[in-house]
Amino acid sequence: MRNRLCKVQQKFNYKGIVVEPKIRDFFIGRIWTRNHTPFSQEKIEKYIEHQFFNIKPGISFFRKGFLQRQIYRCNRCHNTNQHEIVHYNCARCEKVCVYCRHCINMGRVTSCTDLLTWNGPSSHYPLSHKLVWEGKYTEAQHEAAQQLQESIKTGRHHLIFAVCGAGKTEILFPAVEFALNQGKRVCIATPRTDVVLELYPRFQKVFPKTNLHALYGSVPVQQGFPQLVITTTHQLYRFENAFDVVIVDEADAFPYTYDRTLQKAVVKAKKEDAPITLVTATPSPQILSRVKREKWGVSFIPRRYHGYPLPVPRYESLWSYDKKIQKGDIPTKLEEWTKARLTNKEPFLIFFPTIRLMHMATSLFQQLDKRIVSVHAEDEERKEKVLKLRKEEVPGLLTTTILERGITIKNIQVAVVGAESKIFTSSALIQISGRVGRNSQFPTGDIVFFHHGITAEMDEARNEIIRLNREGFGEGFK
Amino acid sequence: MKGTEVMNCLLCNTPLNEPVTWKLLLTNHFPKTICTDCENKFKPYENKEKAVTSLYQYNEAMKDYLHRYKFLHDIILAKVFREQIHHHLSKQNAIIVPIPMHPLKLKERTFSPVDELLNEANVPFTHYLEKITTETQGGKSRQQRLNAPQIFRLKNGMDVVGKDFILVDDIYTTGTTIKHGKKVLLDEGAKSVTAFTLIRG
């Protein structure tokens, strides 16, 4: 009898204490510092004693190259940039320790910090997920959704290349439902917090039976085991070997393309053979060549869901606009454009290359209409201001590239001031142009690049939009 | 960052690209660690009294700096103000005494913010004081701070009679910490005690 009991216990991985579901659900798939968990330290130590956790040092090193140089690596964010690794005299260990500056905002990780990963029983995965969505697909969307589902079924990486306003999020629904019902853990990651905030309620609505969590910088701890996680790519530093399916939305957005560790974080957060899906309107050449080389599944949608072509940007010269604005004048063409928008009562966005220039221009624009305000990345009222534009409480916004993606406003008109600036890359310009004409009632709109000389990036953006329209509407499209 | 070389601004991570000038090559300066934009966000404090000297005002930028340095434990940020601290303290004849931390607190934090500031600024200092409580000043009201019993004592075997001292702390808010430290030293027979803080709250 006793023996049989032991066997049963072994089978269920019994290790001396009964695991609290709260702790189990939190730690599955996560990698967390030992001393900063949301649970009491005594409990955590007890769990460690009973081997419910694997422990590894926060920073380890390996040797590399001819000289066998020591290279440190942060085990949380996998950063190996040695400029971001700092040596210091640690008063706790009384020797020289190192810490990683790259992910220090999430709490410092040093070589004497322990990182915990879960080694206990796994959670129960419910299989009764239901997609509640009554929208209708266009033919292209339907095809893409099928292709994506097929890729996830076979465990193949996939790229969804769809123009701005093609209805990319909806394409994900059936594939996510399929994966969840297979008992898989799904992660939708995106570089932008704004996008997380927009996706979360949408997914919550269409998957009412699923426990899903949204993770971003300062989010409170949420209850239960999330089988579906919507997160910023930064938060993936805190996951390891966790997901069976990873979808990266807006995979071309800053800083994901720029920061190698974020790309590593995605690979680290997924299980080894889990497929990645990239969703983007402007895939970089690197992504495209990888897709080709590694034979990914590809869905290409050159047409918007409402079936109208993408608005093609027009060029308008605005010589020495910065000097004019510095002198306290709005350049004539820009002033006329804004006045036309005001008289037609059309909401508008004006993009500026720098915050400094935007601030100088704000007071000038407020002379045209007092309600015009400006938005930038560190603005605390960013969300409210965009909402005001949506509700037509403000006629227009001045903004930096922060609003280049993820915002959809009916009948919006867009101008880019200083489109020749370095910050407006071709993908940024394509994204900005993609804000216009997203609504089926107002499928067209004005998109102007005000410039001090035309750059290759501008041409590239314009040609790409024309090319996509040709793909979607045949060669006859001018 | 093994060497002294700092490539990017420690606060905003933009490349520094400090131009090489004759002045830089020939005079003895610490290399730059933050960019000019970040530098301009810190506002110098205008000292009115002689007893306590402070370098900077407590503003948003400083709040952010202190948060990163003291609470996120980003020790390398001790380098940011080394030039100014060095300039102010290296020529002094008095003995530099940093406000100490309780040994338990020190283990917890892994470093002493005040000591590190002085180390980076290349200013020699001696610990004359010992902290006897583990309480921190933060989180207490002004009244509580002012009425608190003595929080320091003289270290064993330290002789202070007839000597000049400068107490050093990171931030001066109500002045209680400095007052307590001053009292201990003066009671033991120190000749004079002044104070220096990086920030004035």
For residue A12, what pLDDT is reported?
52
Q: Does one domain contain both B27 and B80?
A: no
A384 φ, ψ to 5°? -65, -40
Q: Based on the domain organization, do B107 and B165 belong to the same domain? A: yes
A436: left (phi over 0), alpha (psi -120 to 50) or beta: beta
Query: Which residues from chain B sit within 8 angstroms of residue A84, using beta carbons?
Result: 1
Q: What is the pLDDT of residue A44?
A: 93
A141 or A135, which is more confident? A141
Helix axes A168-181 and A193-206, enclosed angle (nearest 10): 60
pLDDT band of residue A115 (cuts 50, 70, 90) is very high
Cβ-based neighbours of A171, under 8 Å, separated by 6 or more: A141, A144, A145, A148, A160, A162, A279, A299
The arithmetic mean of pLDDT across residues A352-381, rounded, is 89
Residues B70 and B7 both lie in one domain = no
Give the tens place of pLDDT for each residue, A220-276. 878 888 899 999 999 999 999 999 999 999 888 878 887 888 999 999 999 999 999
* Judgement on whether residues B77 and B88 belong to the same structural domain of the protein: yes
Same domain for B66 and B161: yes
Q: What is the pLDDT of residues A382-404, one digit of tens each?
A: 878 888 888 888 999 999 888 88
Residue B173 is part of which domain span?
A: 42-200
Structure-token match 């640690």, residue found: A90
DSSP string, B116-143: HHHHHTT------EEE-----STT--HH
Residues of chain B with pLDDT > 70, as a percent, come to 96
Of all residues in chain A, the percent with pLDDT exceeding 90 is: 57
Same domain for B19 and B91? Answer: no
Considering the domain architecture, whether residues B88 and B15 belong to the same structural domain is answered as no
Decide if A92 and B110 are in contact by the 8 Å CB cutoff: yes
> Residues of B with CB below 8 A from A111's CB?
none
Q: Are residues B37 and B48 in the same domain?
A: no
Q: Which of B76, B110, B112, B127 to mutate to test the interface with A (most CBs of A within 10 A)?
A: B110
Inform me whether the pLDDT recorded for A32 exceeds 50.
yes
If asked whether residues B195 and B144 sit together in one domain, one would say yes
Residue of A nearest to B8 (CA): A83
pLDDT at position A9 is: 45
Q: How confident is the model at residue B2 (pLDDT cuts 50, 70, 90)?
A: very low
Bigger pLDDT: B172 vs A404: B172
Residues in Cβ contact with A142 at an 8 Å cutoff, skipping those fewer than 6 apart: none
What's the fold here for domain A314-473? Rossmann fold (3.40.50)
CA atoms of B133 and B100, how far apart (whole Å): 11
pLDDT digits (tens, 9 = 90+) for A414-448: 999 999 998 898 888 999 999 999 888 899 899 99
- Whether the pLDDT of residue B17 is over 50: the answer is yes
ipTM: 0.87
Distance from CA of B2 to the nearest CA of A (A): 7
Q: Are residues B184 and B171 in the same domain?
A: yes
Residue A11's pLDDT band (cuts 50, 70, 90): very low
Residue B110: its chain A contacts at CB < 8 A? 88, 90-92, 97, 110
Q: What pLDDT score does A341 carry?
A: 93
- pLDDT, one tens digit per residue, over A177-204 is 999 999 999 999 999 887 888 889 889 9
* Same domain? B27 vs B53: no
Please tell me the total count of domains within chain B.
2
Alpha-carbon gap, residue A391 to A140, rounded angstroms: 32
Q: How confident is the model at residue A176 (pLDDT cuts 50, 70, 90)?
A: very high
CA distance A358 to A192: 22
CATH architecture of the domain with residue range A139-301:
3-Layer(aba) Sandwich (3.40)
Residue in A87, A91, A105 closest to B107 by CB: A91
Q: Contact, B150 vs B180, CB < 8 A?
A: yes
B23 and B91 both lie in a single domain: no
With CA atoms as reference, the chain B residue closest to A100 would be B74
**What residues are paired with B167 via a beta bridge?**
B97, B195
Please give the structure tokens belonging to residue B28: 């003895």
Q: pLDDT, tens digit, for every residue of B90-113?
A: 988 999 999 999 999 999 899 999
Q: What is the CATH number of the domain that holds B183?
A: 3.40.50
Q: Which helix (H) or strand (E) holds A70?
A: strand A69-74
pLDDT at B143 over 70: yes
Residue A333, pLDDT score: 93
A80 to chain B: closest CA residue: B1
Q: What is the pLDDT of residues A85-109, one digit of tens each?
A: 999 999 999 999 999 999 999 999 9
Q: What is the pLDDT of residue A478?
A: 55
Residues of chain A with CATH 3.40.50.300: 139-301, 314-473
Structure confidence at residue A462 (pLDDT): 94
